[in-house]
Amino acid sequence: MQHKLIYKCLQNEKVTAFVKRQYIASYSRYFSGHENECRDMLESAFDVLQKSQENGLNKTKWNKAVYTISKDIFQIRNDSFWFNKMHYAYKTLIRPKKDYEAVSALLKGNIVHDFGCDGGFFSLELLRDGFNVVLSDVVDHRISEVKNLPFYYMKSPVDVGYLKDKIDTTIVKTVLHHIDKRYLATVLKKLKKTGSRIIVEEDIYGVPSFIRDASDKLISQKNFKEFASLSLEEQYQYCVLTDYFSNAVIYGRPDITFPFNFMSVDDWKSVFEAAGFTVQKCIINGFNNWKLTQNCQAWFVLD
């Protein structure tokens, strides 16, 4: 885990304040009726993490703080806590449904591979709409509803050689920034070999290089404007902090790999093209206001 990098991001008051404000705003929107509790929980969480590091980077204190926040503030083991009930509904129903609506027109064929499926919430949405679904991940966190579907437990980050059957479309939803740069080209080339269309969702930064193509809708997003006003390094730090905070601290999943492999749209395009893909489409959504974690996001369609 890159403690040093996250520590550096946390030290940047401007970025941390922006991240915190985004969390408080989006959580207050979604957890309506619990606005004050959301504010208190998020402020305490940042406070506990920052206080644990007030005398400099200390990994032991860091890990202890993350554990305490997940256990005591977000109470991840308490299923009857209002936060967890509503959060579960967001994760299992609301987000997958909205994501599905956003990409369904881009799906090709009937066999879809959910690469880096995590719980399989998106797979379930595909299944409900009649697709044959294959899942894979380097961890096995599948919910019971998808346990009877074909699943490949990857033994290493580049263990993609299992795809012997025909796949029409592969969904790679917020997975690539979790793959170390050393492995990325190999993974993409192996996915390319399946002959399937690949649909990638990524958190992006590097706004100045693509703002030329950005629609009015994007520029009118308040968060997008503020994000775009940050320096490139600060935009990257924003991506790091939100990725780490959502997955490791709030969801209680510090076991996910965090190489923070975020890139600009132009850099992603170069990486995809180097792996042999043609980038058919790049849809920049920017900040979707219904998302709990507020990030600048894009979909890439690769053939």
Ligand X SMILES: C[S@@+](CC[C@H](N)C(=O)[O-])C[C@H]1O[C@@H](n2cnc3c(N)ncnc32)[C@H](O)[C@@H]1O
Nearer to ligand X, 116 or 286 (CB): 116
Q: Which of 112, 126, 179, 188 binds ligand X (CB under 6 A)?
A: 179
Nearer to ligand X among residue 39 and residue 98 (C-beta) = 98
User: To the nearest whole angstrom, how small is the minimum distance from the Cβ of residue 178 to ligand X?
Assistant: 4
Query: Cα dihedral angle (234, 290, 126, 199), rounded to 10 degrees?
Result: -30
Residues 6+ apart with CB under 8 A from 94: 290
Rank residues 38 and 124 by Cβ distance to ligand X and give the closer one.
124
The residue to which tokens 């208190």 are assigned: 40
202 is a site residue for ligand X (CB under 6 A)? no
Least distance from C-beta 276 to ligand X, angstroms? 19
Report 106-165 residues binding ligand X (CB under 6 A): 115-118, 121-122, 137-139, 154, 157
Q: Tell me which of 5, 111, 256, 279 binds ligand X, using CB under 6 A.
A: 256
Distance CA 290, CA 125 (A): 18
Token reading at 67: 């554990």
CA–CA distance, 117 with 96 (Å, rounded to integer): 11
- Binding residue count for ligand X, defined by CB under 6 A: 20
Q: Please tell me whether residue 257 binds ligand X under the rule CB under 6 A.
A: yes
Residue 34 or 98: the one with the smaller Cβ distance to ligand X is 98
**Residue 248: closest CA among 120, 116, 65, 55:** 65
Binding residue (CB under 6 A) for ligand X from 178, 190, 225, 269: 178
Q: Which of 87, 173, 197, 291 binds ligand X (CB under 6 A)?
A: 173
Closest CA to 292 of 18, 59, 27: 27
CB of 36 to ligand X, least distance (A): 29
Q: Using only C-alpha atoms, what is the Rg of the chain? A: 19
Contact residues for ligand X, defined by CB under 6 A: 115-118, 121-122, 137-139, 154, 157, 173-175, 178-179, 187, 247, 256-257
